[in-house]
Structure 1
């Protein structure tokens, strides 16, 4: 990491009203703590120790389970060290200290914090599906019709049929086609992977369907198959991701939340070097209602690509950031940071992205901006001020 430890301990978005911003902040701080290690956290400067313990305690008591998981995971990392309890007493107020002791007791009783809630839910769903597919004597039931039994059908015809179903004028047929696609991924993964481009010609239509039942079924299936297909989805993600993203703007809360979760799942399971281009494109061109959240997703990718994919950062990420930087609204960096901490605005999301980039690149971010024709002198000065504010947080 390029920046010093104090720079990484930003807590600007810990109390952000937007859960997505808090989740991004929690994940970013957890990754930083992993890099620092328990010894540097507990034996380093007082500022680092105090901030980590207080911020992680705040996350551990947050509402969304994913955010709580990151807070607990940070404390779990520190639990083997004898000095943890005395430092908790010193840096946490009595109420928070008592609450954290209960949380740590619960972690000890369970033997750890387990998987992230989203990962656990996906695994439980896959186990449930597996159990439903097996009868007591181990035979598969309720699967493909007799003309589609595993290893006995023409695979090309099988794919053509389910794609035809997904394009049917009857929404019930479209629902059946989506379900058959999920079964194909689970039972004949190789066949699904070999035919993804053809299948997604129909499946993408379902992601943008006028019928909310079809959209919801398609999104649920997408959420389920990403952990199965993983990087194989690279061939279709450029076309599918914008369709998923536009559903974040849906007035149906279930559809909106599921679409957001799918992008998070894609970030977890698909090479972020593949995701960075469509996310950058969406960050610049998507519907204004969803753009703040898309920029937060892009910020979530930053720790995964800055060191591993420097060319992608140069080609896609930084040019996108320069354009977003020019969209910042505010009298000065202080006003921008102040507005960012309290609303689900584009200002807020761009500030999260700025923090994520500066944590990874440090002063190199300013050097890159100085040499870019896309960054005006005014925006360069604004960036310098924002980075100075990050240093002092």
Structure 2
């Protein structure tokens, strides 16, 4: 069983797990037996067609233990079954779905998210025809203050991206800010994981040339962990895109690098180094040549960073 990465590179393995057909009570007893003082915490992670409980990470005598326990719930909350009769009229479809997504009752808003997920699988042509009004309403669920609905929407989006793929391209400029704003700097681990999972699905399922500009823009204007994560994502896109779209990469990624150069430390410095390495690997001496047209401080900071990398 594989899970989507929780953070960082989409291709990197972030979690190892032992699948155990046992109850959470057994896990709790086992952890107590190991005399681990950390309180057992259980969170929900979406897997294709099923839910599992993932217990927190425990370290004991240099051994990391992860427990993955199949859910005992008979029905997945993200049911792939049609939620009702398929509506053929576009205007009526938009009216009914947006009414659910914009309801004052949070349970109705969650029902609307379920309906949209089911329609992406069973009635994708209608979703695509209604893309802008439907995803305008769905975007508000990604950004709303009710944390339960907010998290539910972030997790559901991952499945929608896998189903619709390139057909979501038209709403990327709305979706990316809704995913990254606030969520990548969230102290709520479940929200952060759901947001990074959604970004990974975008990278895996859409044309990455469409993602480069919104990722670069958000990496410039956001701070904290969001800046780090998005800068690392841009470094990955540079490696994939430069061989076929060099001008696009230089136009979008170089201004991000110039803005990151200078005094920095910790994770921001590591992310800056990753981006610089990716660009230098692809551009070679052209990276220094491009910096020559910038203010002198840019060339000086770039040369200093390149020296530390060699």
Q: What TM-score, normalized to structure 2?
A: 0.73
Provide the C-alpha distance between the structure 2 equivalents of 1:248 and 1:311, rounded to a whole number of angstroms.
29
**Larger RCO, structure (CA 8 Å, separation 6 or more):** 1
Deviation track 1:186-208 (CA, whole Å, cap 9, x = no partner) reads 10112111211111110010000
For residue 144 of structure 1, report the CA deviation from its aligned partner: 2.7
Kindly tell me: are residues 239 and 142 of structure 1, through their superposed partners in 2, closer, same or farther at Cα, counting changes over 3 Å? closer
Deviation track 1:300-335 (CA, whole Å, cap 9, x = no partner) reads 21112112222322332212222222xx315xxxxx
Provide the C-alpha distance between the structure 2 equivalents of 1:184 and 1:347, rounded to a whole number of angstroms.
43
Map of 1:70-85 to 2, 5 A cutoff? none
Provide the C-alpha distance between the structure 2 equivalents of 1:123 and 1:173, rounded to a whole number of angstroms.
24
Contact 1:216–1:255 (8 Å) recurs in 2: yes
How many residue pairs are counted as aligned between the two chains? 252
Contact 1:248–1:260 (8 Å) recurs in 2: yes
Deviation track 1:109-167 (CA, whole Å, cap 9, x = no partner) reads xxxxxxxxxxxx865669xxxxx89xxxxxx995333xxx23x6423312321112111
Report the equivalent of 1:223.
158
Provide the C-alpha distance between the structure 2 equivalents of 1:298 and 1:388, rounded to a whole number of angstroms.
22
Contact 2:82–2:122 (8 Å) recurs in 1: no
Report the equivalent of 1:11.
none
Contact 2:169–2:206 (8 Å) recurs in 1: yes
Report the equivalent of 1:389.
308
Structure 1 range deviating more: 376-385 or 178-187? 376-385
Contact 1:167–1:174 (8 Å) recurs in 2: yes
Report the equivalent of 1:239.
174
Contact 2:7–2:14 (8 Å) recurs in 1: no
Gaps of 5+ in 2: 1-5, 18-45, 52-74
Provide the C-alpha distance between the structure 1 equivalents of 2:225 and 2:80, rounded to a whole number of angstroms.
44
RMSD over aligned CA atoms reads 2.8
For residue 278 of structure 1, report the CA deviation from its aligned partner: 0.6
For residue 376 of structure 1, report the CA deviation from its aligned partner: 2.4
Kindly tell me: are residues 196 and 141 of structure 1, through their superposed partners in 2, closer, same or farther at Cα, counting changes over 3 Å? closer
For residue 350 of structure 1, report the CA deviation from its aligned partner: 1.0
1:197 corresponds to 2:148: no
1:359 corresponds to 2:281: yes
Provide the C-alpha distance between the structure 2 equivalents of 1:365 and 1:65, rounded to a whole number of angstroms.
38
Deviation track 1:203-226 (CA, whole Å, cap 9, x = no partner) reads 010000111111111111111111
Higher percent of residues as strand = 2
Report the equivalent of 1:143.
82
Q: What TM-score, normalized to structure 1?
A: 0.58
Higher percent of residues as helix = 1
Report the equivalent of 1:280.
216
Map of 1:180-329 to 2, 5 A cutoff? 180-246=115-181, 247-325=183-261, 328-329=262-263
Provide the C-alpha distance between the structure 1 equivalents of 2:280 and 2:49, rounded to a whole number of angstroms.
37
Provide the C-alpha distance between the structure 2 equivalents of 1:184 and 1:155, rounded to a whole number of angstroms.
13
Gaps of 5+ in 1: 1-18, 28-58, 67-120, 127-131, 134-139, 331-338
Contact 1:20–1:296 (8 Å) recurs in 2: no
